[in-house]
A and B are shown apart, each in its own frame.
Chain A
Amino acid sequence: MFLCTMALLAGCGETNHENKSASAVQEELIYATAKDIHDMNPHLYTGSMPAQGMVYESLVENTKEGIKPLLAESWDLSEDGRTYTFHLRKDVKFHDGEPFNAEAVKLNIDAVQRNAEKHAWIKLSSKIKNVKVVDEYTVQLILSEAYYPTLVELSMTRPYVFLSPKDFIQGETKDGVNGHNGTGPYKFTEHKIDEYAVFTANEEYWNGAPKIKKITAKVLPAGETTFLAMQKGEVNFVFTDDRGADSIDVQAMNQLIDAGTYQLVRSEAMNTKMIVANSSKSDSPVSETAVREAFWYAIDRETISKDIFEGTEAEANRLFSSNVNYADVELKERGYDPGAAELILEQAGWKKGSGDEARTKSGQQLAMNLYYDSNSSSQKTQAEFIQHALMQIGIKLDIIGEESSSIANRRSTGDYELLFNQTWGLAYDPQSTIAAFTSEASYLHTTKGIAEADHLYDRIQQVMVSTDEEARKALYAEIMRTVHDEAVFIPISSGSVTVLAPKNLKGITFKQTQFELPFEQMYFE
């Protein structure tokens, strides 16, 4: 109803505001965020990642070309793969003027390690044995065993980033901090909870002061208001949030672009949205590979991409798109083919009686539950679409919407047959998603029921400690092929980061993660 009215009204007064938003704020970016930035403590998980990314930095950076120096100029790895020696930059200061040095690195990493339970997801946290200060600008990270993704995990937005020693409370950060001084291109200068947060350019930034001098994160919980505020120019920037949800819908975005004031920039594929099948649910048809495979064949991803996502998400046919490290592996093609799905089910003994609602085998009905996030409108639409498609081939699918925390709970207890999920994303993949195959809190139930589960876990264990690049490639290929053949992760679409920005804003690029944006590279022309 709202959109209809807007569309009607828009017709009578579009010209008034063209270019206004761009001219009103040349030096400043005001981005809309549905949620407050929350606690900016870099060693915990409640803060907004894009905001933390502006303020804090890590030792190394994950780029398209691989790991590059950031706060560490260079590093050496010992022969046994267990000691990393980092040579730090000498010209870096925290925002409060404190020097960035080996002591600060040790203080930060030790504080993170003392709260290790909270960091169980990042496997490096269980491998770090000791942090040793060699001299003022040299620091050593000593691991309990070789762990190849060390640098990748050190490059992440959190927790291995650095806060000024002055902000620690009695040497700790786990129970709160005194301030939020990082080394990054922006200083965190003002915060009014649930209203706005202001970040100002760090003029002494070691890599040169950023051109955009002020960035304001304005909290706008309703997408319609965001759209109107963008039309008026009170807000001039939006991007997809941490969960990959667009804060304004596709039609509204298109309207802003058509008006000529805004541009749309989209990153390459960052993650894969998928349906996870619980192979270990032995009393359910979902434990059968044939059923999962038929499910895979029965989904028309092209229609989902075109009609449900209006082309904003590409179809995905594999767990990791081929731009993910090590994921350029040859895998069995499984396109949309309901005929093949029916054949597989027939061969597996699932027969369709006349007038039956669903196929049956030895008295059991081919029926399953699919859980979706009730706060996601696109998941609901996809679930309904898939439900209809499966009905055509004789699978009865019940769809159930629940809160995201309750879905996460189902995933970790194994109380599900099928549920929506997504991979961790570029910088984290494949290692984080694959490590999660063995984790009870993540995908253990998903993978446990497949025939070669133990072999798979063994391979995963090996790949994480392997120091040989070729061996790693081969191991990853084997792991990916196993889960692909078993069809436990059924890919749907690939998500990317979307930015809607003033037309004269240049330098919009993306990082290797869907959680951050390099604001420091942006400038107005």
Chain B
Amino acid sequence: MGSYIAKRLLLSVPILLMISFLTFLLINLSPMDPAEVVLRAQEVPEITEELIAKTREELGLNQPFLKQYADWVMACLQLDFGESFVTGQSVWSLISPAFLNTLKLTLVSSIIIIVMSVVLGVVCALNEGKMLDRSVRGVSFFLTAMPSYWLASIMIWYFSVRLDLLPTSGMDSYQSYILPVTVISVSYVGIYFRNVRSSMLGHLHEDYVVYGRACGLPEKKITKHILRNSLQVAVSIFCMAIPIILGSTVVIENVFAWPGLGRLSVKSILSRDFPVIQAYVLILAVAFVLFNTLSDMINAAFNPKLRKEI
């Protein structure tokens, strides 16, 4: 298992390097001179040729491209993502609190999503085709189809304004989590519980279940076995759910004024704050690669056959 982990980790290095290169290219893809982008981002009212030349020099944009890239990668490895074009603050000081805020939201939502998906998936599978199964699937279909923006607005209106139970936005107390977490969870539970359900159903008719039943094993014990086997499939899906939610909170963060990564990224994109955009893309890419590796490892731990495939 140890060598599998090492190999798997090594494999992600070239992927990360490629992503970092593409990310760095971003700034050079803009039709505008990066120095001018910086000055516009700082909202300097009038931009002169001299000012652009001076800014180019300050930013090291006169250096050869590969040297700029190498310097940038080395700095990133030390968590130094440069300075924001707009505010001049270090990107790390902007992105780390935002990342933490989004992570909080993501983790709480993920736990709820996993628990709810497993519970609903199992209950529906055990009641396949019955009223309960059909109605849970019906409601979830309806809720997942609803745009989260719309659902969020309705919930704020009802629970915050009308019933006065929760704050409309911000992240002041644990109460602030309730609405955003609910909106995120609703849309993902609807997708993930189906995976658990269908995986359970797949196992329900396998030989070992029939055999167990024939041997007179108690139904509880059989269900436990089925659950264990079906959850293996679910593990990788849940692992990927974390980076997916991490990268898709833009709408929720905007509606709930949650000071997280999603909002920071939109703000940076609109003001062409490239160092922040680069750090954002890089962090998300690393999260995807890491969680992908993690899910492979978990699966490999469950299933030794997979370890030989690399």
Give A residues with C-beta under 8 Å from B: 1-2, 5-6, 9, 13, 16-17, 35, 38-39, 44-46, 117-118, 120-122, 175-176, 192-196, 218-222, 224-225, 228-229, 231-232, 234, 375, 403, 405-406, 408-409, 412, 436, 439-442
Evaluate contact between A228 and B161: CB separation under 8 angstroms.
Answer: yes
- Which residues of B have CB within 8 Å of A222? 254-255, 257
Q: 1/0 per residue B86-99: CB within 8 Å of A?
A: 11110000100110
- Which residues of A have CB within 8 Å of B43? 45-46
* A229 CA to B267 CA, complexed, in Å: 21
- Which residues of A have CB within 8 Å of B32? 405-406, 409
* A52 CA to B254 CA, complexed, in Å: 25
Known A-B contacts A120-B51, A195-B170; A5 and B154 likewise in contact (beta carbons under 8 Å): yes
Q: In angstroms, how far is the closest chain B Cβ from the Cβ of A205? A: 29
Show 19 A/B contacts (Cβ-Cβ < 8 Å), sorted by A.
Answer: A1-B150, A5-B153, A9-B158, A13-B162, A38-B87, A117-B50, A194-B259, A194-B267, A219-B257, A221-B257, A228-B157, A228-B161, A232-B161, A234-B167, A403-B272, A405-B37, A406-B31, A409-B40, A441-B48
- Which residues of B have CB within 8 Å of A440? 48
Evaluate contact between B51 and A232: CB separation under 8 angstroms.
Answer: no
Q: In angstroms, how far is the closest chain B Cβ from the Cβ of A455? A: 24
Q: Given A229, A232, A403, which contacts B164 in the complex, CB threshold below 8 Å?
A: A232
Evaluate contact between B255 and A409: CB separation under 8 angstroms.
Answer: no
Q: In angstroms, how far is the closest chain B Cβ from the Cβ of A317? A: 27
* A409 CA to B272 CA, complexed, in Å: 14
Complex interface residues of chain B between 152 and 169 (CB less than 8 A to chain A): 153-154, 156-158, 160-162, 164, 167-169
Known A-B contacts A38-B86, A405-B40, A405-B272; A441 and B46 likewise in contact (beta carbons under 8 Å): yes
Asked if B188 is at the interface of the complex by the 8 Å CB criterion, the answer is no
Evaluate contact between B50 and A232: CB separation under 8 angstroms.
Answer: no
Evaluate contact between B153 and A439: CB separation under 8 angstroms.
Answer: no
Instruction: Determine the residue in chain A with the shortest Cβ distance to B55.
Output: A117
- Which residues of A have CB within 8 Å of B47? 120, 412, 441
Evaluate contact between B150 and A232: CB separation under 8 angstroms.
Answer: no
- Which residues of A have CB within 8 Å of B88? 39, 46, 175-176
- Which residues of A have CB within 8 Å of B29? none
Evaluate contact between A375 and B270: CB separation under 8 angstroms.
Answer: yes
* A120 CA to B170 CA, complexed, in Å: 39
Evaluate contact between B97 and A193: CB separation under 8 angstroms.
Answer: yes
Complex interface residues of chain B between 127 and 179 (CB less than 8 A to chain A): 149-150, 153-154, 156-158, 160-162, 164, 167-171
Instruction: Determine the residue in chain B with the shortest Cβ distance to A3.
Output: B153
- Which residues of B have CB within 8 Å of A9? 154, 157-158, 162
Q: Given A17, A194, A442, which contacts B46 in the complex, CB threshold below 8 Å?
A: A442
* A44 CA to B41 CA, complexed, in Å: 12
- Which residues of A have CB within 8 Å of B45? 45, 120-122
Q: In angstroms, how far is the closest chain B Cβ from the Cβ of A60? A: 20
- Which residues of B have CB within 8 Å of A436? 46
Asked if B197 is at the interface of the complex by the 8 Å CB criterion, the answer is no
- Which residues of B have CB within 8 Å of A117? 48, 50-51, 54
Q: Which 4 A-B pairs give the minimum distances between C-beta atoms?
A: A121-B46, A121-B45, A194-B259, A405-B40
Asked if B263 is at the interface of the complex by the 8 Å CB criterion, the answer is yes
Asked if B24 is at the interface of the complex by the 8 Å CB criterion, the answer is no
Evaluate contact between A221 and B254: CB separation under 8 angstroms.
Answer: yes
- Which residues of A have CB within 8 Å of B46? 120-121, 436, 439, 441-442
* A486 CA to B170 CA, complexed, in Å: 51
Instruction: Determine the residue in chain A with the shortest Cβ distance to B251.
Output: A222
Asked if B80 is at the interface of the complex by the 8 Å CB criterion, the answer is no
Evaluate contact between A408 and B157: CB separation under 8 angstroms.
Answer: no
* A522 CA to B264 CA, complexed, in Å: 33
* A45 CA to B39 CA, complexed, in Å: 10
Q: In angstroms, how far is the closest chain A Cβ from the Cβ of B158? A: 8
* A441 CA to B40 CA, complexed, in Å: 12
* A45 CA to B158 CA, complexed, in Å: 40
* A523 CA to B54 CA, complexed, in Å: 47
Q: In angstroms, how far is the closest chain B Cβ from the Cβ of A11? A: 12
- Which residues of A have CB within 8 Å of B154? 5, 9
Asked if B256 is at the interface of the complex by the 8 Å CB criterion, the answer is yes
Evaluate contact between B169 and A220: CB separation under 8 angstroms.
Answer: yes
Evaluate contact between B255 and A234: CB separation under 8 angstroms.
Answer: no
Evaluate contact between A225 and B94: CB separation under 8 angstroms.
Answer: no
Known A-B contacts A5-B150, A221-B254; A46 and B40 likewise in contact (beta carbons under 8 Å): no
Contacts A9-B158, A121-B45, A234-B169 supplied; 7 other A-B pairs, CB < 8 Å: A6-B153, A9-B162, A45-B45, A120-B46, A196-B170, A228-B161, A228-B168
Known A-B contacts A13-B162, A232-B164; A225 and B169 likewise in contact (beta carbons under 8 Å): yes
* A192 CA to B100 CA, complexed, in Å: 14
Asked if B18 is at the interface of the complex by the 8 Å CB criterion, the answer is no
* A212 CA to B2 CA, complexed, in Å: 65
* A43 CA to B32 CA, complexed, in Å: 26
- Which residues of B have CB within 8 Å of A35? 267
- Which residues of B have CB within 8 Å of A1? 150
Evaluate contact between B51 and A46: CB separation under 8 angstroms.
Answer: no
Instruction: Determine the residue in chain A with the shortest Cβ distance to B97.
Output: A193
Evaluate contact between B254 and A232: CB separation under 8 angstroms.
Answer: no
Known A-B contacts A222-B254, A222-B257, A412-B47; A46 and B160 likewise in contact (beta carbons under 8 Å): no
Evaluate contact between A120 and B48: CB separation under 8 angstroms.
Answer: yes
Known A-B contacts A2-B153, A225-B256; A218 and B170 likewise in contact (beta carbons under 8 Å): yes
Known A-B contacts A193-B97, A221-B254; A6 and B157 likewise in contact (beta carbons under 8 Å): yes
Evaluate contact between A228 and B160: CB separation under 8 angstroms.
Answer: yes
Evaluate contact between B263 and A16: CB separation under 8 angstroms.
Answer: no
- Which residues of A have CB within 8 Å of B77? none
Q: In angstroms, how far is the closest chain B Cβ from the Cβ of A25? A: 14
Evaluate contact between A16 and B169: CB separation under 8 angstroms.
Answer: no
Evaluate contact between B168 and A232: CB separation under 8 angstroms.
Answer: yes
Q: In angstroms, how far is the closest chain B Cβ from the Cβ of A121? A: 4
Known A-B contacts A44-B42, A229-B169, A405-B272; A224 and B255 likewise in contact (beta carbons under 8 Å): yes
Q: In angstroms, how far is the closest chain A Cβ from the Cβ of B156? A: 5
* A1 CA to B146 CA, complexed, in Å: 12
* A45 CA to B153 CA, complexed, in Å: 34
Q: Given B150, B167, B259, which contacts A219 in the complex, CB threshold below 8 Å?
A: B259
- Which residues of A have CB within 8 Å of B257? 195, 218-222, 225
Q: In angstroms, how far is the closest chain A Cβ from the Cβ of B4? A: 42
- Which residues of B have CB within 8 Å of A221? 254, 257, 263
- Which residues of A have CB within 8 Å of B31? 406
* A234 CA to B161 CA, complexed, in Å: 10
Evaluate contact between A193 and B36: CB separation under 8 angstroms.
Answer: no
- Which residues of A have CB within 8 Å of B267? 35, 194
- Which residues of A have CB within 8 Å of B42? 44-46
- Which residues of A have CB within 8 Å of B255? 222, 224-225
* A312 CA to B24 CA, complexed, in Å: 44
Instruction: Determine the residue in chain A with the shortest Cβ distance to B46.
Output: A121
* A107 CA to B97 CA, complexed, in Å: 35
- Which residues of B have CB within 8 Å of A406? 31-32
* A221 CA to B263 CA, complexed, in Å: 9
- Which residues of B have CB within 8 Å of A375? 270
Instruction: Determine the residue in chain B with the shortest Cβ distance to A442.
Output: B46
Q: In angstroms, how far is the closest chain B Cβ from the Cβ of A227? A: 9
Asked if B44 is at the interface of the complex by the 8 Å CB criterion, the answer is yes
Q: In angstroms, how far is the closest chain B Cβ from the Cβ of A472? A: 23
- Which residues of B have CB within 8 Å of A228? 153, 156-157, 160-161, 168
